Amino acid sequence: MTESKDLLIEIGTEELPPRALPGLSGAFADQMQKGIADVGLTYGKIRRFATPRRLAVIIEQLAARQADRTTEKRGPSVSASFTDDGKPTKAAEGFARSCGVTVEELDRIKTDKGEWLGLQVHEPGKYTEELIPAIAVQTLSRLPIPKRMRWGESNIEFVRPVHWVVVLFGKDIVPFELFGIKTGRKTHGHRFHHPGAIKLENPSEYQHKLRDPGYVIADFNERREQIRSQALTVAKACRGTVIIDEDLLDEITGLVEWPVGLSGSFDKKYLSLPPEVLIACMQNQQKYFPLQDADGKLLNHFIAFSNIDSLDPEIVRAGNERVIDPRLNDAAFFWQQDLRRPLAEYQHELEGIVYQKQLGTLAEKTTRLEKLAGHLATLLDQNIEHARRAATLSKCDLVTEMVGEFPALQGIMGRYYAIESNELTDIARSLEEQYFPRFSGDRLPETETGIVLSLSDKLDTLAGIFAIGQVPSGEKDPFGLRRAAIGILRIIIEGKVDLDLVDCLTAAVDGYEHLKVSDDLVNQVFEYMMERLRHYYLEQGISMDIFESVYARRPTRPLDFHDRIQAVRNFITLPEAERLAAANKRISNILKQADDQKIETEIREELLQETAERDLAAALNRVSKIVMPMLNGNEYSNALTELAGLKAPVDAFFDEVMVMCDDEVLKTNRLALLKDLNQLFLRTADISRLQN
């Protein structure tokens, strides 16, 4: 057992960007772990710490030394190493020289392929403190830094300027330089509560010394949960419920080392503004948590988090209350300004806003959406005028003052302004719903018009971006095409909207005639969407082969696709499934060999000789009569269940009948029988693709 000690690395910085902090901290710990694992050091638990002014990691029970290693260097083969008279060749001498020994001192390495000269090299393990500097440097060079910066006269780059570096291995400093700073054992506490240095004897003191005397809660998660519980407590005192947005909670956690929550209030008159506006003011601008009452109505209170245990908390509260007032006042001003015109009058301003350079302005997008929404409404037998009106209004709120100030309120303001402009409720709601689903698992549009508008918007985006060749690759997806594609599929499948995707895409692509799009565009987008569909099902635990069995049939109506998926899922639970899948695989192989195209379709009964083939033909005939109406009614599940009954005659057929017999006539007839059988299954899915 080698000796082990804890390792602490802390980088002390100026205030780091709070939203990047969790990612930086995670990468810092992961890269350290990777570096340590790569050099073969054993270690125990890894603990990470992150505050606005520090990134730290503690690696517990890190081995003090690498294990010794024996490696083997291989030289030339023995036959190439010695001349006939046994003298070493130049090759042998060269190799010996490179190893720093004489040829006589070299070992012989025997394998079943021959014999080589070689040398066993015993490498003593290195001490951990010798390895740490390189690992630390490499780790820091691999952090996901959104924007690097320089400071002062130095050429060093990092997230923000670095002020101190602690590297302690057990009780000892590992001496080296990072960012031009000598490593040491002194950390620093809270900027105001404990500005002086805190000397650490060993890594295990880190967390508690930072807490006391340091006034720093170093653990990100601990701090976050403390903020949450403080918020709950403060809310209770205000007789309200706190609305906690998890992203905001993370951001606040990244902004404070010593969180102190306090409540404040604002003038009740602002409660007449849309609640989303108040929430945006509080959350986005001021980083406050809003409060609501038991009925879910907003209260004129908020919870702010300061980074100080103030000697005079009233000052901090009063200050925060003073700030929110002008913010809300501005919002009220925007609301009034925006309402001076009905929503539809904002339309002409869309001409000045470029949606995408090659795809034109928002006004042009609106025109395309009017057409597309009208088309979809026609297909779905819905109110066409409503759909077109919704499309006309869809982008108007983007040029209002409020959305200019709070971009996240797009759609929401559209809804409010539409209602204030006396548009129909369904249309007003659709303006917000066009952006649904906004993220994975988000709600779907519910109104008829909202469904049509949301689909139109996303189809237009997909078609347009594909048309200009900006197909998403790898992680990059600046136009959110993945989200758009999955959104369309979810709306259609989960909202049970019976639309043909190829029809929809064709209509969407028609909006881009002027771009001279390729004939294959619809197909390209369709394939892309099917790829998303595969992921959609994978996420639901539906295996790839089930997807493939259906996809092989290329259904273009996602709802129909989904029904087939459900049918196959149901089918594979049946005891007959495995054998039938195997039988179908066998059949399709046989048919392939026999050149599918040339097989007769008519089964001639008089040619059926064996009992097993007569039985199968009879069974097929009987089942087919039951199944055909089911298939015509898209009752795939019932159909497959019914077809499962063919297992016995199919098995018997393959046991007893020779398909590829010498009699060409009999063979052709048997192939026709199999093709019939196969076709019946294929009406739902290609079950030959199922794995057991």
Partner 1 sequence: MTASRQGVFSFQELISRLQAYWQSRGCIIEQPYDMEVGAGTFHPSTFLRAIGPEPWRAAYVQPSRRPTDGRYGDNPNRLQHYYQFQVILKPSPEDIQDIYLNSLVKLGIDPLKHDIRFVEDDWESPTLGAWGLGWEIWLDGMEISQFTYFQQAGGLDCKPVSGEITYGLERIAMYLQGCESVYDLIWGPGPDRDITYGDIYHQNEVEMSAYNFEFADTQSLFAWFDTCERECRKLIEKELPLPAFEMVLKASHAFNLLDARHAISVTERQRFILRVRDLSRLVAKAYYDKRESLGFPLLKKQ
Q: Report how far residue 44's alpha carbon sits from residue 6's, in angstroms, rounded to the nearest whole number.
A: 9
Binding string, 97-136, against partner 1, x = CB under 8 A? ----------------------------------------
> Within its chain, how far is the Cα of 639 from the centroid?
37
- Contact between 308 and partner 1 by CB under 8 A: the answer reads yes
Indicate the residue among 127 and 151 with the shorter CB distance to partner 1.
151
The half-sphere exposure of 280 on its side-chain side, counting CA atoms within 13 A, is: 20
Residue in 94, 161, 184, 472 binding partner 1, rule: CB under 8 A: 161
Write down the least CB distance from residue 348 to partner 1, Å: 11
Q: With contacts defined by CB under 8 A, name the span among 12-20, 97-105, 530-538, 638-646 that binds partner 1.
A: 12-20
Write down the least CB distance from residue 480 to partner 1, Å: 22
Write down the least CB distance from residue 316 to partner 1, Å: 5
- Contact between 184 and partner 1 by CB under 8 A: the answer reads no
Q: Report how far residue 261's alpha carbon sits from residue 308's, in angstroms, rounded to the nearest whole number.
A: 9
Q: Report how far residue 690's alpha carbon sits from residue 692's, in angstroms, rounded to the nearest whole number.
A: 6
Q: Report how far residue 163's alpha carbon sits from residue 161's, in angstroms, rounded to the nearest whole number.
A: 7
Indicate the residue among 312 and 595 with the shorter CB distance to partner 1.
312
Write down the least CB distance from residue 231 to partner 1, Å: 16
Write down the least CB distance from residue 251 to partner 1, Å: 9
Query: Residue holding tokens 């619809």?
Result: 522
Write down the least CB distance from residue 268 to partner 1, Å: 18
Q: Which of residues 475-514 bind partner 1 (CB under 8 A)?
A: none
Binding string, 270-289, against partner 1, x = CB under 8 A? ----------------x---
Write down the least CB distance from residue 17 to partner 1, Å: 4
Number of residues that bind partner 1 (CB under 8 A): 45
Q: With contacts defined by CB under 8 A, name the span among 304-312, 422-430, 601-609, 677-685 that binds partner 1.
A: 304-312
Radius of gyration of the chain (CA): 36
Q: Report how far residue 116's alpha carbon sits from residue 571's, in angstroms, rounded to the nearest whole number.
A: 61
Write down the least CB distance from residue 292 to partner 1, Å: 21
- Contact between 151 and partner 1 by CB under 8 A: the answer reads yes
Residue 42 has which token pair? 């054993």
Q: With contacts defined by CB under 8 A, name the span among 206-214, 299-307, 468-476, 510-518 that binds partner 1.
A: 299-307
The helix, strand and coil proportions of the chain, stated in percent and rounded to the nearest 5, come to: 55, 15, 30
> Under the phi-then-psi rule, with left for phi > 0, alpha for psi from -120 to 50, and beta for the rest, what region is 43?
beta
> Under the phi-then-psi rule, with left for phi > 0, alpha for psi from -120 to 50, and beta for the rest, what region is 312?
beta
Measure Cα distances from 363 to 34, 155, 428, 527 in Å.
52, 47, 19, 29
Indicate the residue among 195 and 474 with the shorter CB distance to partner 1.
195
CB neighbours of 411 closer than 8 A, spacing ≥ 6? Answer: 397, 431, 432, 433, 434, 435
Q: Which of residues 35-64 bind partner 1 (CB under 8 A)?
A: 52
- Contact between 595 and partner 1 by CB under 8 A: the answer reads no
DSSP 3-state assignment of 339? coil
Q: How many CB atoms lie within 10 A of CB 443?
A: 9
CA nearest to 530, candidates 566, 485, 567, 494: 485
DSSP 3-state assignment of 342? coil
Indicate the residue among 83 and 336 with the shorter CB distance to partner 1.
336
Binding string, 18-37, against partner 1, x = CB under 8 A? xx------------------
Write down the least CB distance from residue 227 to partner 1, Å: 14
Write down the least CB distance from residue 543 to partner 1, Å: 44
Indicate the residue among 45 and 357 with the shorter CB distance to partner 1.
357
Residue in 80, 121, 149, 660 binding partner 1, rule: CB under 8 A: 149
- Contact between 147 and partner 1 by CB under 8 A: the answer reads yes
Indicate the residue among 99 and 156 with the shorter CB distance to partner 1.
156
DSSP 3-state assignment of 149? strand
- Contact between 307 and partner 1 by CB under 8 A: the answer reads yes
Q: Which of residues 198-257 bind partner 1 (CB under 8 A)?
A: 255-256
Crossing angle of helices 481-494 and 558-571, in 10° steps, is: 70
Write down the least CB distance from residue 15 to partner 1, Å: 4
Residue in 90, 150, 269, 622 binding partner 1, rule: CB under 8 A: 150
- Contact between 197 and partner 1 by CB under 8 A: the answer reads no
H helix or E strand, kind and range, residue 618: helix 611-632
Beta strands in 90-203 (DSSP E): 107-111, 114-123, 162-169, 172-173, 177-178, 181-182, 186-188, 197-199
Q: Which residues pair with 187 in a beta bridge?
A: 198
Helices then strands, each counted (H, E), the chain: 25, 18
Indicate the residue among 279 and 497 with the shorter CB distance to partner 1.
279
Write down the least CB distance from residue 407 to partner 1, Å: 15
Q: With contacts defined by CB under 8 A, name the span among 155-163, 449-457, 598-606, 668-676 that binds partner 1.
A: 155-163
- Contact between 626 and partner 1 by CB under 8 A: the answer reads no
Q: With contacts defined by CB under 8 A, name the span among 92-100, 190-198, 422-430, 598-606 that binds partner 1.
A: 190-198
Residue in 312, 475, 519, 606 binding partner 1, rule: CB under 8 A: 312
Q: With contacts defined by CB under 8 A, name the span among 197-205, 314-322, 338-346, 374-382 that binds partner 1.
A: 314-322
Indicate the residue among 287 and 482 with the shorter CB distance to partner 1.
287
Residue in 31, 306, 588, 684 binding partner 1, rule: CB under 8 A: 306
CB neighbours of 323 closer than 8 A, spacing ≥ 6? Answer: 286
Write down the least CB distance from residue 399 to partner 1, Å: 9
Looking at residue 278, what DSSP letter applies? Answer: H
Q: With contacts defined by CB under 8 A, name the span among 224-232, 311-319, 443-451, 658-666 that binds partner 1.
A: 311-319
3-state secondary structure string, 581-617? HHHHHHHHHHHHHCCHHHCCCCCCHHHCCCHHHHHHH
Indicate the residue among 285 and 382 with the shorter CB distance to partner 1.
285
Residue 163 has which token pair? 């002020």
Residue 571 has which token pair? 């089918």
The half-sphere exposure of 202 on its side-chain side, counting CA atoms within 13 A, is: 8
Contact 465, 480 (CB under 8 A): no
CB burial of residue 336 (10 Å; 0-12, 13-18, 19+): exposed
Q: Report how far residue 673's alpha carbon sits from residue 679's, in angstroms, rounded to the nearest whole number.
A: 10
CB neighbours of 290 closer than 8 A, spacing ≥ 6? Answer: 242, 243, 278, 279, 282, 283, 298, 299, 302
Residue 334 has which token pair? 């925007």
Q: Which of residues 321-380 bind partner 1 (CB under 8 A)?
A: 322-324, 326, 329, 333, 352-354, 361
- Contact between 297 and partner 1 by CB under 8 A: the answer reads no
Write down the least CB distance from residue 88 to partner 1, Å: 58
Write down the least CB distance from residue 261 to partner 1, Å: 11
What is the amino acid identity at position 322?
A: R
Residue 279 has which token pair? 């929430």
Residues that bind partner 1 (CB under 8 A): 14-19, 52, 147, 149-153, 155, 160-161, 163, 191-193, 255-256, 286, 304, 306-308, 310-312, 315-316, 318-320, 322-324, 326, 329, 333, 352-354, 361
